Amino acid sequence: MAVNRSVEDGCVAIADMRRIVRLAGSDFEGFFQAVAVDSAQLLGADAAALIVQDADGMMQYRFFYGSPDIFQRDMRAFRFSPESGTVGAALREERMIFTPDYAASPNAMKTFVEYGLQANLVVPVQQGDGEGPQAALAISWFKTKPERAPTVAQQEMIALYADFLQAGLARQAMIDAWKQQANRDTLTGLPNRRALMAYLAAAVERSRRQSAPLVVCLMDLDDFKPINDTYGHAMGDTVLMELAYRLKLVVRASDMVARLGGDEFVLVLENVTSSAQMETALERIHHVVAQPYVLPGGKTVSVGMSMGLTRYPQDPADPDCLLKHADKALYMVKELRDKSASFWHCWQEGDHHLSEGDNGLHCE
């Protein structure tokens, strides 16, 4: 009977693990929650958390299970060095570390003591390439200290859960990379139309909420086709890549540059509060575009630019219409080429036809 009971328990454990692995492919947060619940229950702990290294190399909480609400609320923005605390010790030594009395540990961090952490077990989550830990599973006791240390069998099960997390993190990183590629122009690395429309929707909402006007600019290059015709498309691509680099340098971190395709680019300039500020930004853009481009082999070429733009909320349209209005304004620049030296035009109601004496090249 004991053997049958053991077999039955083993089948239940295998079923639980299969359930957890299936979640890794579809719902990473649900996957972590399943790992956290099983880990905490296995050890009689109160809580578990996944702590990961961010882009700056600092450790930051990503998911929580079971920890006090105030701890979760405050720790979401808390970052600490990968050298600090019991997490740092586990990462350095690349092994799980059990701390039965956290406050008495030389590795204790004052912040966690103040939040009532009694004890923890920290398990490094290894990178897939073996270069070292990139995350940690922290299993915690807040209400009381554990009665005993985890058994060898329990430690082996927790190590298996850490392996599951490593696989889940690797899969999530791959998915994130795929999403990044789907939102990038393959030639220039700039955001593509898909990424632009998502960004523009968020930018319009920020503008509305903060009463901070934004400018949507659609530009294309003048005299670009002769470069392709004379020197070949590879040389034209060189010009486009250099242009993308220059545009990224000339705009602010809060602005966006995207490529729609061909020689068409979109710039979204946020928090542009005056016509003078806008015109200064446009002149900077024009200046970098007009600088000569050196092709492989030393040949130098130059291009001009035309730009149509619209301003929100003066133009209270949705993102799709803002882009269409900028496109209409770009058409007006080209239509007025013989009448005005300006390289840009701002969309306004009635732009379908401009009177012969109206250059329409300023929006106040």
Q: Which of 38, 46, 255, 263 is catalytic?
A: 263
Q: How many CB atoms lie within 10 A of CB 354?
A: 17
Cα-flanking dihedrals φ and ψ of residue 60, to 5°? Answer: -145, 140
Alpha carbons 304 and 292: distance in angstroms, whole number: 10
Joined together, the tokens standing for residue 347 give: 């969309």
Residue 47 class from Cβ within 10 Å (0-12 exposed, 13-18 middle, 19+ buried)? buried
129 is catalytic: no
Cα-flanking dihedrals φ and ψ of residue 234, to 5°? Answer: -65, -40
Alpha carbons 181 and 39: distance in angstroms, whole number: 35
Pick from 291, 274, 284: nearest CA to 307:
284
Q: Where are the beta strands (DSSP E) in 106-252?
A: 119-126, 133-141, 214-222
Distance of CA 318 to the CA centre of its chain: 24
In sequence order, what are the beta bridge partners of 137?
50, 123
Cα-flanking dihedrals φ and ψ of residue 278, to 5°? Answer: -65, -45
CA terminus-to-terminus distance, the chain = 87
Alpha carbons 119 and 60: distance in angstroms, whole number: 19
Alpha carbons 82 and 158: distance in angstroms, whole number: 21
Calculate Rg over the CA atoms of the chain: 29
Cβ contact 121:180 at 8 Å: no
In this structure, are strands 304-312 and 344-346 parallel, antiparallel, or unpaired? parallel
Query: In which residue are the tokens 């294309």 written?
Result: 220
Q: Say what the alpha-carbon torsion angle 266, 236, 189, 280 is, to the nearest 10 degrees.
A: -40
Q: Which residues are catalytic?
A: 263
